Amino acid sequence: MPGDRLTHQDRRQIADGLTEGLTHTEIAARLSRPLSTISREVARNGGPDGYQADQAHQATRDRARRRPPTPGGRDRKAVGDLEEQFIAVMINTGLSRMTARVLASLYLTDSGSLTAAELARKLQVSPASISKAVGELEQQELIRRERDPRRRRDRYVIDADAWFRGWMASARQNTLLAGFARQGAATLGATSPAGIRLRDIGDFFDHVGQAMLQAAEQWRQAYSAK
């Protein structure tokens, strides 16, 4: 049934479909499953080029065994499914799988805060993998670092302003791209085909960057009013 977990045979059909070059939509129709189920399954188990049915099935069983009880009487399966959906969505925005897993762990932890050691233990990966992932998230300003004086180690924190900071960082990047493109247009000649192309790119990123800044300020005012 569409609402049930994927079986080993389902995963073999997914692998066969990928080998045949079918799209996720076509595979979902073949299995009578939601498209989101197929997309998440493939994304969290190696992607279209690395998906293997046996390994995917074993990985799912391993994750289920080591998943700890959830607090507050929550449905463990529902929380696990939510986490996998979160990871799949973040991967589609351009994050690597490990970075998406770290971000999901922070967002779905009630405290919104974990140390590198806690993340490594929860995700069953090396400290080096965590370090690389948090570096990417810090660069995009999606998390912030706090020093825990009691334990003499850093904690990585999600707060209400996380996406605001990330949005602002993206807006600043658009402004930098606009400036670079316009400078390039001047170097190439404002009336040359290449110069006109770069000028148009600069105008686009400047417009988008300004619109992002305006939208962020409107959100900030509305959020403060609440």
Q: How confident is the model at residue 1, as a pLDDT?
A: 40
pLDDT in tens, 166-224: 888 888 889 999 999 999 999 999 899 999 999 999 999 999 999 998 998 888 888 77
Q: In whole angstroms, what is the distance from residue 197 CA to residue 188 CA? A: 10
Closest by CA position to 176, among listed 201, 193, 197, 194: 201
Looking at the chain, the whole-number percentage of residues with pLDDT higher than 90 is 40
Tell whether 71 is covered by a domain: no
Residue 59 shares a structural domain with residue 88: no
pLDDT above 60 (res 22): yes
pLDDT at residue 15, rounded to an integer = 93
Q: Same structural domain for residues 43 and 100?
A: no
Instruction: Give the mean model confidence (pLDDT) for residues 152-170.
Output: 83
Among the residue ranges 20-29, 128-137, 162-171, 202-211, the one predicted with the least confidence is: 162-171
Last residue of a domain, one of 159, 185, 206: 159
Can you give the pTM of this predicted structure? 0.58
Q: What domain range includes position 153?
A: 77-159
Tell me: do 155 and 170 sit in the same domain: no
Number of domains in the chain: 3
Last residue of a domain, one of 66, 95, 110: 66
Any domain includes 195:
yes
Q: Tens of pLDDT along 52-63? A: 989 988 888 877
Q: Which of 66, 85, 120 is the last residue of a domain?
A: 66
Q: Note whether 27 and 48 are within 8 A (CB).
A: no
Tell whether 118 and 185 lie within a shared domain.
no
